[in-house]
A and B are shown apart, each in its own frame.
Chain A
Amino acid sequence: MSDDDMGGSGDEDYYNDYYSDGHDPDVETLDKTLQDPEYFEFQCLTDTEVERFINERVEELSTSIQVTPSLAKVLLLMCQWNLSEIVSSYRADAHRLLIQCQVKPSMPANNNNTSMVSANLVSATNTSNRSTTNTPFPSNVGLMSSTSMEKAGDCVTLCSSSSKSECSSRDVVCGSNAIIQQESDVKECCCPVCLCAMKPSESSQLSCCHRFCNSCWSTYFDVEITQGITTRIECMSSHCEVLAPEDFVVPLLPRTRVREKYHQFAFADYVRSHPELRFCPGPNCTIVVRAKDNKPKRVICEACNTQFCFACGCDYHLPTSCETIRRWLTKCADDSETANYISAHTKDCPKCHICIEKNGGCNHMQCYNCKHEFCWMCLGCWRSHGSEYYECSRYKENPNIAHESVHAQAREALKKYLHYYERWENHSKSLKLECQTLNAIRTRIHAKVMAGTGTWIDWQYLLDAATLLARCRYTLQNTYPFAYFLAPGPRKDLFEYQQAQLEAEIENLSWKIERAEMTDRGDLENQMDIVEKRRTTLLTDFQP
């Protein structure tokens, strides 16, 4: 989030700070998005704030199209919280939207599922006459008006629990079809689930008019909630997809523990379905990150400091896209055995053949035995790496591969994969080792400050350099999956050229940091600036 004030402390910033006392917000935002391709606006919300955010949306929809909050929640969940689209399609064709969102049955309702138990039912008297609704139905009302043409006084019930009903004749309207059931008929009917006789006062139905006894409903909800299903509980009838909304489910839950579970799981469903929200993946972290754009950008949790990609919730991975990194990680998981075998932890010095274990993050190695300088990746002499063209990160494809046998092609494919995997894995190890370097720097600074050589602020640049190094190496690591899946061509050539440049500068920086006491501060800060510019250029040129 605050990347921008790290690296590019150019003259302009200085100029602005010096001459203007207040800062111009427009210039600021413009600068941030232009200068830093990783800039991303987001907020960290606690669960109370998220709940308020969700409830505001629900409230907004519920007032704008006159439906109960419970129904509004179903609509929002089914339409990915696209409020304006819901309102417009509701105004255009409410009936269709309600069917699409599984609020109403797609087929005109009839009670065929009760026929199984040979109930004596006078069922499904279709009537287009809406005047049957003129006895107001005294139970919970889902829709305050079923179409925009209807008068505000008409009621359509989407779910009803007749326990509240005192009427002797019941009118239940489903869509445009009204089904009239005489209570005396309902009395004799059996619940199709437990096959026991049910009293109308102890049974309920959704808008599809499939009636079941309350005890079966609660057992059913109990089973579903235990399996983690809350917002997607469907009617118990076969092939009926009507969803049970919150205000239908919750009153039928007998135990408070299950009720709590319902709210907890439903809340998670709402957050997961909302494109602007994402749970922080940090262990035991309850923070929800909110960002207006659903983009694969880095977010950092304020509570637990976990960094992750906002779009997929996995580890941050720019310049590689979410889909590519997923493919890469699956591939790595599949092929790791071979790769593990190849990427052993030690290598022999190419000159004196002494066994060397890598103890720092830098790939620029110096054998402590013979002082030979070489590259850890390719074991080549380091001098050839120092020049402007660093080739070590580039994989050279065999140009005659199309003419080779299947076996040779398979070997070549594995070789290519291992080339990228080794580098990916190596940078990941280097990151860990550089973490140790960072701690070592901290102790050294502490010792120096205690000994009176400079103040803590004097040595701060070393910490900054180490943090920058980690950030750059992280980006570099994530360039390998991108390069692996990139089709050959000029774009790939350009990418690999930039990648090689970045890699060379990073190793240079790492080398300088590990020998910080011998390096000049100006030299180091210059290197930091170069590395960050290379990284920013690569990220800007290869946005997913």
Chain B
Amino acid sequence: MSNIAAQRIQREFNEVIKSDEAQKFSIKLEMDGSDFRHINGEIAGPPDTPYESGNFKLEIKIPDTYPFNPPKVKFLTKIWHPNVSSVTGAICLDILKDQWAAAMTLRVVLLSLQALLAAAEPDDPQDAVVANQYKENRALFTSTARYWTTVHAGGKQLNPDFDKKIHTLLDLGVEKHQALVALSACDWNLDRALEQIFS
């Protein structure tokens, strides 16, 4: 069975490398050493989204039963998105679960993830806190997601207001990522974030 897997991965690599998207640096695949079971992927944040100009690294694990079972994919780059866990990077996407079909490829997976960044599905959330913010306060969600892109994925949009709040927490001895998570989860309300961290 892993014979088909190896063969498929080899071909899919070539497919991705030759694809238009790869030429435009929008998707990328890299083998982790010589083991085809561990692949690193990368997708560019789609334009006109809070993820624009960010590059998001993915961990792709190929099961022995590939392509009859889906690859296991998660975000390595921290991301603020309703369908991705802000803690573990786990992804909630139908084609990585029951909607997977053997005829799908890694290219399809990468493009679908890119599409997911452009169109979140808050009613089927992976991260309830993020999904709630997405639904209740869309503007704040957008600026938070954009800030995370800048901090973790090399995005270029700055936000001095958020920076200031982070620094306030850093001065109190809070670790940087912890400060970011707490403030993002508490709608950037300093008092609530402080309560969450120190309670």
Tell me the A residues contacting B by CB distance below 8 Å.
113, 116, 192-196, 210, 212, 216, 219-220, 223-224, 234-240
Cβ contact within 8 Å between A216 and B4:
yes
Given contacts A116-B105, A192-B103, A193-B103, contact A219 B1 (CB under 8 A): yes
Number of inter-chain CB pairs below 8 Å: 47
Interface residue? B34 (CB, 8 A): no
Q: Are A193 and B67 in contact (CB under 8 A)?
A: yes
Interchain CB contact under 8 A, B4 and A194: yes
In Å, the complex CA distance between A238 and B104 comes to: 6
Quote the shortest CB–CB distance from A6 to chain B (angstroms): 50
CB nearest neighbor in B for A227: B69
A contact residues around B65 at 8 Å (CB): 223
B residues touching A (Cβ–Cβ < 8 Å)?
1, 4, 7-8, 11, 65, 67-69, 95, 99, 101-105, 108
B residues within 8 A CB of A216? 4, 102
Determine which residue in B4, B95, B101 has the highest number of CB atoms from chain A within 10 A of its CB, and name it. Answer: B101
Interfacial chain B residues near A239, Cβ < 8 Å: 99, 101
Give the nearest-CB partner of A224 in chain B. B68
- Tell me whether B102 and A193 are in contact (CB under 8 A): yes
Give the Cβ gap from B168 to chain A, nearest Cβ, in Å. Answer: 32
Report which residue of A212, A224, A236, A237 has the largest number of chain B beta carbons within 10 angstroms of its beta carbon: A236
B43 to chain A, nearest CB (A): 19
The chain A residue sitting closest to B65, CB to CB, is: A223
Contacts of A195 in B (CB 8 A): 7-8, 11
A223 and B68 contact, Cβ closer than 8 Å, known pairs A113-B103, A236-B101, A239-B101: yes
- Which residues of B are found within 8 Å of A238, using beta-carbon distances? 95, 101, 103-104, 108
Secondary structure dominating the interface of A: loop
Distance (Å) between the CB of B38 and the closest chain A CB? 21
Residues A236 and B8 in contact, CB atoms below 8 Å apart: no
Provide the bound-state CA to CA distance between A267 and B161, in Å.
63
Question: Are B7 and A237 touching (Cβ within 8 A)?
Answer: no
Collect the chain A residues with CB atoms within 8 Å of residue B69's CB: 223
CB-defined contacts of B8 to chain A, threshold 8 Å: 193-195
Q: Please report the C-alpha to C-alpha distance between residue A291 and residue B3 in the assembled complex, in whole angstroms.
A: 49
Q: Do A236 and B7 form a contact, CB below 8 Å, given A223-B68, A223-B69?
A: no
Contact of B103 among A219, A223, A236 (CB under 8 A): A236
> Measured between alpha carbons, how far is A236 from B70 in the docked complex, in Å?
12
Determine which of B4, B11, B103, B105 lies in contact with A237 in the assembled complex, contact meaning CB atoms within 8 Å.
B103
Given contacts A194-B8, A195-B7, A219-B4, contact A237 B68 (CB under 8 A): no
A210–B104 alpha-carbon span in the complex (Å): 13
Q: Which residues of A contact B99 (CB under 8 A)?
A: 239
**Chain A's nearest CB lies how many Å from the CB of B13?**
12
CB–CB A210/B103 < 8 A: yes
Instruction: Tell me whether A219 and B101 are in contact (CB under 8 A).
Output: no
Instruction: Collect the chain B residues with CB atoms within 8 Å of residue A236's CB.
Output: 68, 101-103
B129 to chain A, nearest CB (A): 23
* Chain B: CB-nearest residue to A196: B7
A57 to B125, CA, bound (A): 42
- B99, closest chain A residue (CB): A239
14 A-B contacts, Cβ less than 8 Å apart?
A193-B4, A193-B8, A193-B102, A194-B4, A194-B8, A212-B103, A219-B4, A219-B68, A223-B68, A223-B69, A224-B68, A234-B101, A238-B104, A239-B99
Chain A neighbourhood of B1, CB < 8 A = 219, 223
Give chain B residues whose Cβ lies under 8 Å from the Cβ of A223: 1, 65, 68-69
**What chain A residues lie within 8 Å of B108 (beta carbons)?**
238
